[in-house]
Amino acid sequence: RNPRYAFQELERLTRKSGSTLELRQVMAELASRWPKEPALQNEVAYLNLLLGDDPEPERKKAESLVREFPTSLSYRTTLALALWRLRDFADALGVYAGRTDDWSQAPAGQRAVYAAVLAGNGRTAEAREIARALAADQLRQEELELIQPLL
């Protein structure tokens, strides 16, 4: 039997009812068991950034993932969050340059990061519009904190 299914169920339950710290623990365990899964590596980097870990190592991971998977909005958002945490707001916005993503279809957490990046670049009205359209119950506490100044 494949233990991956049990871990995926644990991830689902933790994502639904656990803290970000608990989710990071589960995701880090998954990533250590399946180190070649880029989505798991990205998720751990994203959660580390949400929890305020040193953004530089996470930036390097995210840059590598974006180079390998340039069409992934999720990986780009992790990179943008790392750059935002490093206060490199222009490069954070540049991560999305030349793309035509349908933000209405993106997960709420990704839209929260995008709103924070827009705000960091002085595009406050656009950022506020995105942030105010997000339901707080769709965001992790740390994602909500990213957009709190816009609400």
Three-state DSSP at 87 gives coil
Residue type, 84: W
pTM recorded for the entire structure: 0.88
Cβ distance 92 to 120 under 8 Å?
A: yes
3-state secondary structure of 37: coil
At 41, list the tokens: 């590596």
| Residue 104 confidence (pLDDT) | 85
Length in residues, the chain: 151
The confidence band for 4, taking pLDDT boundaries of 50, 70 and 90, is low
The pLDDT mean for the chain works out to 89
More confident residue, 25 or 57: 57
pLDDT over 80 at 16, yes or no: no
Cα dihedral 16, 34, 70, 63 sign: positive
Q: Which of 38, 25, 129, 119 is nearest to 80 (CA)?
A: 119
Long-range contacts made by residues 131-138, C-beta under 8 angstroms, separation at least 24?
Answer: 134/108, 135/108, 138/107, 138/108, 138/109
The tens digit of pLDDT for each residue in 91-105 reads: 999 999 988 888 888
Do the beta carbons of residue 27 and residue 44 sit within 8 Å? yes
CA–CA distances in Å: residue 45 to residues 42, 55, 124, 140: 5, 9, 27, 15
The answer to whether the Cα torsion of 11, 110, 150, 104 is positive or negative is negative
